[in-house]
Amino acid sequence: MGKLYVVGIGPGGLEHMTVKARQVIEESEIIVGYTKYIELIKSLIKGKEIFSTGMMKEEERCRAALRLSKDKVVSIISTGDAGIYGMAGLVLEMRKDEQVEVVPGVTASSAAASVLGAPIMHDSCNISLSDLMTPYELIKKRVEMAAQGDFVITLYNPKSKGRPYYLKESIEIIKRYRKGHTPVAIVKNALREGQKQQLFTLDSFDDSDADMLSVVIIGNSQSFVRNGIFITPRGYKL
C-alpha cells in the first residue's frame, strides 16, 4: 500500500524546511515536482526516482503522483506551502481512493516578512497577480477590496514578461486607499540563494526589480519603517 505526501518544501534554503517535510521526503521512494524545485532539494534526494516536468504541467504531475502512489511512497513537492498556490488543491481534486497527506511549509509571505522585520503582524491577505487561472478584473477587485479593508497585502507572482503592468496598476489601486508614505517592500529569493530586499513607500515604489522570484508586501495604515525594519504594529500600547 503506497501513499502520496503533498509537501511544502519552504522558501528554498534547506534549513527552512520543516522536520516533517524532510522526514517524508527521506521516506519517499519517488519524488515528483517541477524541475526547478527538484533542484532546490537535490542534496536530499540522491538515489531516489525523480519525476520532474516543466512549468504548466501541473495536471500531468498530479496524475503521475497519484498513479505512482498506489503502491509506492511518493512526495509531490511545492515550494513554500503546498496549500498556498501549490499542488495540494489539485491533488485533492483529482484524487479518487489514494491515500494523501498534506505537509505544510513556510510560505513566501512568511519568509519575506522575516527578512523585512514584522510587516504582516496584523490582518493580512495574499493575492496572486497571475491571470493564468483568474481573470484580471477579479484580481483587481480583490486588490481594491483588500486595500479598502486595510489588510496588509502580499502580492505573489507580482510581475512577469507577459503582464508587465499588473503590479504598477495594483499599486495605483492601493494608493487610492492608503497614504503615500505607506511602506512597500520587494523581497526576491527570500531565505534562499540570491536573497535581495528593497524598501519603498507607495509614492517612491519602483517595480523594476520585481519578478516571478519575488513577493511584494504592502503595509496597512499603521505600518512604519524604523532603522530599516518594516513593522506593522499589533496594537500594544507602548
Closer residue to ligand SAH (CB): 14 or 70: 14
Binding interface with ligand SAH (CB under 6 A): 11-12, 78-81, 84-86, 107-108, 111-112, 156-158, 187, 189-192, 212-215
Closer residue to ligand SAH (CB): 159 or 178: 159
Closer residue to ligand SAH (CB): 104 or 219: 104
Taking the complex as a whole, the smallest distance from the CB of residue 185 to ligand SAH amounts, in Å, to 11
Taking the complex as a whole, the smallest distance from the CB of residue 224 to ligand SAH amounts, in Å, to 23
Taking the complex as a whole, the smallest distance from the CB of residue 70 to ligand SAH amounts, in Å, to 26
Closer residue to ligand SAH (CB): 156 or 166: 156
Q: Could you give the strand order of the β-sheet that contains 229-231, starting from the edge strand earlier in sequence?
A: 117-118, 229-231, 224-226
Taking the complex as a whole, the smallest distance from the CB of residue 181 to ligand SAH amounts, in Å, to 24
For ligand SAH, the nearest residue by Cβ is 80
Cell readout for 164 is 508587465
Quick one: which H or E segment has residue 117? strand 117-118
DSSP state of 97: S
Query: Shortest CA distance to 91 belongs to which of 119, 116, 68, 117?
Result: 68
User: Bridge-partner residues for 78, per DSSP?
Assistant: 8
Q: Measured between alpha carbons, how far is 149 from 146 in angstroms, rounded to an integer?
A: 5
Q: Are 117 and 229 in contact (CB under 8 A)?
A: yes
